[in-house]
Amino acid sequence: PEITASETAAAEAPYGIPLERDHPFDPPAAVMALHRGAEMRRMRYYPEGRLGWLVTSHRLARKVLADTRFSSTLGSPAQVPIPMPALEAYLDFEGDFPLTPGMFIEMDPPDHTRLRRKLTGVFTVKRMKQLEPRIAAHVQDRLDALAAGPNPADLVAEFAVPVPAMMICELLGVPYDQRERFEADSRAIFTTDETGEGKQAAMLNLFAFIGELVAAKRANPTDDLLSDLAADPELADEEVAGMAILLLVAGHETTAKMLALGTMALLENRDQWELLRARPELMAGGVEELLRYLTIIHTGLIRQVKEDFEFEGHQIKAREYVTVSVQTANRDEAHFIEPEKLDVTGDAKGHLTFGHGVHQCLGQQLARMEMRIAFAGLIERFPGLRLAVPVAEVPLVTGQSFYGVAELPVTW
Ligand code: HEM
């Protein structure tokens, strides 16, 4: 029998997106090779080998992310049934999995719009400007602690993790000294090692912890985001909890990964570190360039096709998954000049590290401000900072949705 082009494509489809990096700052060579072969291709998904798609070019990445026929409701293991009374309300869509209440990153309009709108005022550039002195205070606090502590030190534990964690806790009104109640669970949600049950347990723990806080804030409001959300009559309790969990989780792992990996990249490209030191006005552009060059969005952004339609000459079918490889899109020569180079004076405009379309990162202004202040503080306070171990000995995290380093031993 004749073998069709689509059968050949299916037979050659890679199993999952390659995750092992050959060089700490570059996308896996295997995923770059897929990108050079075709901007869109068949891919098989774990665990059962279901056929879907992989999109690797900048052009198509934007196109997929801007089109809501590519749904953000995935029925992934992170979406767990929450045993709360209002859950039935979330079951009125076609699919096997209920949506997690409040978790609007996994919803489509109009549910997504209704919840995201509640937060857009909080995350404007102007509101973030007002937070600037608080970020600066947290950064100073951690720099003082580093200077006073042992040398060498682990920059991940002493600086990269606490700065964004303190900030998001303060914004939400979650006590930072109770962080052991959410840190391990927020990490478990993003790992690719954890089973569906593991993620479900982590999510349930987070709902229990934040749910208690929501009730307490309703009874005794304080000046923070969680109290404001708890006082909103249009939001159900479990929605408030879900939104807060989303912010807590999205707001701290990501920025932490960028701070540590970004520092490592600047130390390994010393001329770039020195440039930022000599010309602090380059910092805003430098942060964009680090976001593009490092692309910590490691497993890509995943969507599920809502209906059958033709896309770029391919017949795509309802319920197929599509992975948008942000790493390759951010290294696409059709969009960026010399994308394989880290150049803090370059033009990183249009990078997709914060996504694109209706789900584009809500916290991006906060993240940018944290990174600018944190990198600037580090360079100013420790101009002679260097790695305390050979690069090859820095442990990489490749088994999570976000790429980064597990530890960064530094000395000064
Ligand atoms: C969404 C990246 C920091 C809150 C996203 C998305 C990306 C992203 C790629 C889109 C996901 C998708 O389309 O499926 C990052 C990176 C960060 C960062 C690289 C740091 C360097 C933050 C911070 C916060 C935050 C600090 C909150 C304080 C959110 C929220 C969404 C989101 C709430 C969901 C938006 C929606 O679905 O409408 N982020 N993020 N992020 N991010 Fe961030």
Do β-strands 153-154 and 409-411 pair in parallel, antiparallel, or remain unpaired? antiparallel
Question: What tens digit of pLDDT does each residue of 74-114 get?
Answer: 764 444 333 333 333 333 334 444 568 899 998 999 999 99
Angle at the Cα of 156 (from 154 to 162), degrees rounded to 5?
120
ipTM of this complex prediction, to 2 decimal places? 0.99
Q: What's the confidence (pLDDT) of residue 409?
A: 98
Ligand 1 centroid, distance to 354 Cα (angstroms): 6
Ligand 1, from 161, 259, 364, 369: best to mutate by most atoms within 8 Å of Cβ? Answer: 364
Structure-token pair, residue 399 = 């088994």
Q: SS3 for 310? A: strand
CA-closest candidate to residue 410, choices 399, 392, 402, 390? 390
Residues enclosing ligand 1, CB less than 6 A? Answer: 72, 104-105, 116, 168, 246-247, 250-251, 254-255, 258, 296-297, 301, 353-355, 359, 361-363, 366-367
Do β-strands 153-154 and 301-305 pair in parallel, antiparallel, or remain unpaired? unpaired
* Integer Rg of the chain from CA: 21
Nearest CA to ligand 1 atom 25: 363
Residue 285, classified by CB atoms within 10 Å of its CB into exposed (0-12), middle (13-18) or buried (19+), is: middle
Q: What's the confidence (pLDDT) of residue 19?
A: 85
CA–centroid distance for 324 within its chain:
14
CA dihedral 91, 92, 97, 103 (to 10 degrees): -70
Q: What's the confidence (pLDDT) of residue 191?
A: 65
Q: What's the confidence (pLDDT) of residue 92?
A: 32
Q: What's the confidence (pLDDT) of residue 403?
A: 93
Instruction: Tell me which DSSP letter residue 3 carries.
Output: P
* Residues of the chain with confidence (pLDDT) below 50: 76-97
Burial letters 322-338, b for 16+ CB under 10 A, else e: bbbbbbbbbbbeebbee
Question: What tens digit of pLDDT does each residue of 239-258 get?
Answer: 999 999 999 988 888 999 99
CA-closest candidate to residue 372, choices 124, 122, 139, 130? 139
Q: Which helix (H) or strand (E) holds 274?
A: helix 270-278
Q: SS3 for 290? A: helix
